[in-house]
Structure 1
Amino acid sequence: MTVVHPTAGRSLWRSLVDSDMLHAFLRSRLTVVAALLTLTYLLAALLAPLIAPTNPYDTASLSLLDSSLPPAWSAQGDPKYLLGTDDQGRDILSTILYGLRISIGVGVVSVALAAMVGIALGVVAGYVGGRVDAVIMRLAEVQLAFPAILIALFLDGTVRSIWPLLKQEDIAFTVIVAALALDNWAKYARTVRGSTLVEKNRDYVQAARVIGLRPIAIMWRHVLPNVLGPVLVIATINFALAILAEATLSFLGVGFPPTKPSLGTLIRIGNNFLFSGEWWITLFPGITLALLVLAVNILGDWLRDALNPRLR
């Protein structure tokens, strides 16, 4: 007769419901609000072509007669444009939704690329050690001396000199993603290296060596899964920083062009008309950006505390 333990075969959902992290998450109302706000932004960016009133990238549908209209609740507002229009007659709400797609896309791709490179180099540096460790860490230290803005300016100038016929809208995404990834990979590498130095002396790693597993298999199967905790925290915070960095680059004119604006580009465009009384062009994208970054930072702070065993 086979005796089945009561908890055997418990579903993944049930394990999640009973986990301490979920209870800690639900007890923090601020974190729940931040998570819902972040999810709302992600869904809005994903579904922008379906929920946006107009397509702001379709220049044929724009009319200068509708330019610089105030929000719909103003005396001169148009009910068709809830948040007003910009200097080109584009609906501000639609440009915010499409701008979210660009800003969030830059954040996700740059963080994923930086994390993959940084984690791989960090694990190798910590596990192999010696000259390999020294070379990777010196490269990381050199890279940390260059901010993302300088890297973006350098990449933008280099690409334009090699392919002078390329338009800004053709290279903006690649330049910004590459600049942010180059700026952030060292943070992942340093953190993962420190965790790997601890994990490689654990008993389970020594046992894997004894049974003859190759170093690559040990790093991939045993070390890597146990050093990803701090990486999740860094990735969450860097996601918010990447969105801010993209907005800064676009505000300085290195990022996305006015024809396909991100949130940073929208703020830069609106800043040109701020003192003429057209405040809505820069205010609503600015509020959207600020709330998104704040929500992601709150989630990052909660995740850092939740994964810290000293705070449990």
Structure 2
Amino acid sequence: MSFLSGFTDSDLWHSFIRTPTALVSALLTLILIAGALAAPLVAPHNPFDLASLDIMSAHLPPVWMKDGDPAFLLGTDDQGRDVLSAIFYGARISLLVGFASVLLAVLIGVTLGLVSGYLGGRADAAIMRVADVQLSFPAILIALLIDGVARGVLPREAQEHMAVYVLVFAIGISNWVQYARTVRGAAMVESRKEYVQAARIIGIGPVAILWRHILPNVLGPVLVIATINLALAIITEATLSFLGVGVPPTTPSLGTLIRIGNDYLFSGEWWISIFPGVVLVLLVLSVNLLGDWLRDALNPKLR
């Protein structure tokens, strides 16, 4: 209770409730996340249940159009899957990949950034040169490279089961540089302050100093980057799935649904790709707006 009361009295909370854009985007994000998490409860059908699919129900239009079926509010795709249900389950997969890849990138980037900024010297030079090389390539290209290597190494029968894990690793490993460079700069500043010098004098080890003293003071920028990178990770997953190198077609992520619908877009069956595309845009836009607000709210120069 004391934490909750302290948070509601903070400047961050007052900035949040006084910013309509932040309120609307947070509400929209919560609705989309709640719908994705509760997909088995709110989805009319289960797109993973192959026994319930009927190929004769494929390519049905939304319910308000001619030949629409009330059992499929937003129509069906080429396999007879309910588009609305596929969107619920697809958003679940997209959010899972997004959150997991951001968490992986944070763990790698923050760890390397702390080591680089605190130790300096050769360790700093080696880590930053790797970061500079990676910055020379687009993140999507690195993700494609890692995915291609994984497909060449893994047995064919294991590729479909490992697809989500490979996707998380590929996106996470391609986005750690931002965290490392940001944390490195903050760690270099913090490591020269008096409280860190005092901790060294009384015999506290480097790991304890990094974990207890420096890390809490660099989490603000990391939180902002993670919020914005969540939207980028979701877009990257959708892009890879659209290109056919993400999750398999039997796992309907938002990117997979858009790719499937793209094949039928010019034949008039627009609903297969348009509805998942709208949900993807709303999800990414709301998360981006939240990240922009958080960046401004945590910036002391704008207070």
- TM bracket (short chain): over 0.9
1:263 to 249, 254, 277: 254
For 1:98, the equivalent position in structure 2 comes to 89
1:229 to 204, 220, 223: 220
For 1:117, the equivalent position in structure 2 comes to 108
> Does the 8 A contact of 2:26 with 2:290 survive in 1?
yes
Count residues in correspondence: 303
Counterpart of 1:261, as a letter, is P
CA distance in 2, matches of 1:150, 1:195: 29
CA distance in 2, matches of 1:226, 1:63: 56
For 2:38, the equivalent position in structure 1 comes to 47
Counterpart of 1:112, as a letter, is L
Deviation string, structure 1 residues 226-258 (Cα, Å, up to 9, x no partner):
011100000000000000001000111111121
For 1:126, the equivalent position in structure 2 comes to 117
For 1:7, the equivalent position in structure 2 comes to none
For 1:304, the equivalent position in structure 2 comes to 295
- Cα deviation for residue 101 of structure 1 reads 0.9
* RMSD over equivalenced CA pairs, Å: 1.2
Partner of 2:157, secondary structure, is coil
- Cα deviation for residue 154 of structure 1 reads 2.6
Counterpart of 2:237, as a letter, is E
- Cα deviation for residue 151 of structure 1 reads 2.6
Deviation string, structure 1 residues 12-55 (Cα, Å, up to 9, x no partner):
22112211111111111111010011111111111111111111
With the length of structure 2 as denominator, give the TM-score of the two structures.
Answer: 0.97
- Alignment CA distance shift 1:179-1:146 (3 Å): farther
> Does the 8 A contact of 1:237 with 1:300 survive in 2?
yes
CA distance in 1, matches of 2:84, 2:158: 26
Is 1:290 paired with 2:285? no
Matches within 5 A, 1:196-211: 196-211=187-202
- Which of 1 and 2 has greater Rg? 1
CA distance in 2, matches of 1:218, 1:233: 23
- Cα deviation for residue 162 of structure 1 reads 2.5
Partner of 1:69, secondary structure, is coil
Name the % identity: 63
With the length of structure 1 as denominator, give the TM-score of the two structures.
Answer: 0.94
